[in-house]
Amino acid sequence: MGGIALFGLLVILYPRAQAYFKLRGVVPTRFNRQRREVCLVPSDSDTPVFVPWEEIQAWVVQAQGATQYGVQRQYSFGFGGVDPNTGMGTSLELMSGGQPLAISTWEALRAYMEYEVNALEEIQDPQDLQKPGDPPWEGVHTFHNARERMRRRRRNGEVGPTYPFFWYCYHLLTLWTLPNHLTEWEVRKVQRLNRRATPESVLRWSEPLPEMEWAKPSDTFKRLSQKVR
């Protein structure tokens, strides 16, 4: 019995350990508004790929298959491009929980590059699950904010008396704040990882430019952006 439990634990932990191992070799993608470029560093090379923002290609992938448990769908969001100076191209693809979430990831990148939205705090509802000043990840503060919102909605008459009862029942069944503590533990672990060194050329590329040297969007880009704004 103990051997089966140990095997099950290893099966659960293996994907997580594999993800940590891969993360150690990743150089984070950088977005530079002043240059209007995106910097991607391939996992198998130290040569960065600098792609003009207007030439970035983005996509959403949906995979669907049938299993003994029914139809299952998987989604991912990706983007990439080719460096016009070297002809070298690369891409990055991320798993997503659903199609709307994948699309919203792209819209978040567009908001940063085009509308100078620097953080979620600038556009979120301050009374929602994440308040200004909270860390950008979900944690114990998310739980307390959710409970405060639930109580506020009850005081304002937005929900009935049974809503708080089922809210507490649900969170008791999901182990109260334990999932939030585990999330914070994982965030701290990721922050302590010995990450792959950032190439010197990427550091130079990331340095601020004088305002007179900032790249400007093309007229075609401005016209097309107005259609999707």
Residues 111 and 149 occupy one common structural domain: no
Q: What is the pLDDT of residue 120?
A: 67
Residues 91 and 148 occupy one common structural domain: no
**Under 8 Å CB-to-CB from 82, ≥6 apart: which residues?**
49, 51, 55, 88, 89
Residues 109 and 131 occupy one common structural domain: no
Our count of domains for the chain comes to 2
Residues 77 and 129 occupy one common structural domain: no
Which of 52, 85, 118 is at the close of a domain? 118
Asked whether residue 103 is domain-assigned, the answer is: yes
Q: What is the pLDDT of residue 44?
A: 83
Asked whether residue 224 is domain-assigned, the answer is: no
Asked whether residue 78 is domain-assigned, the answer is: yes
Residues 48 and 107 occupy one common structural domain: yes
Its domain, for residue 171, covers: 125-196
Q: What is the pLDDT of residue 194?
A: 73
Structure confidence at residue 160 as a pLDDT band (50, 70, 90):
very high
Residues 95 and 130 occupy one common structural domain: no
Asked whether residue 1 is domain-assigned, the answer is: no
Residues 162 and 79 occupy one common structural domain: no
Region 155-178: what's the mean pLDDT?
95
The answer on pLDDT for 159 being more than 90 is yes
Asked whether residue 19 is domain-assigned, the answer is: no
Q: At what angle do helices 178-192 and 2-24 cross, to 10 degrees?
A: 50
Mean pLDDT of the chain: 87
Residues 168 and 96 occupy one common structural domain: no
Q: What is the pLDDT of residue 167?
A: 96
Structure confidence at residue 24 as a pLDDT band (50, 70, 90):
confident
The answer on pLDDT for 195 being more than 90 is no
Asked whether residue 173 is domain-assigned, the answer is: yes
The answer on pLDDT for 98 being more than 80 is yes
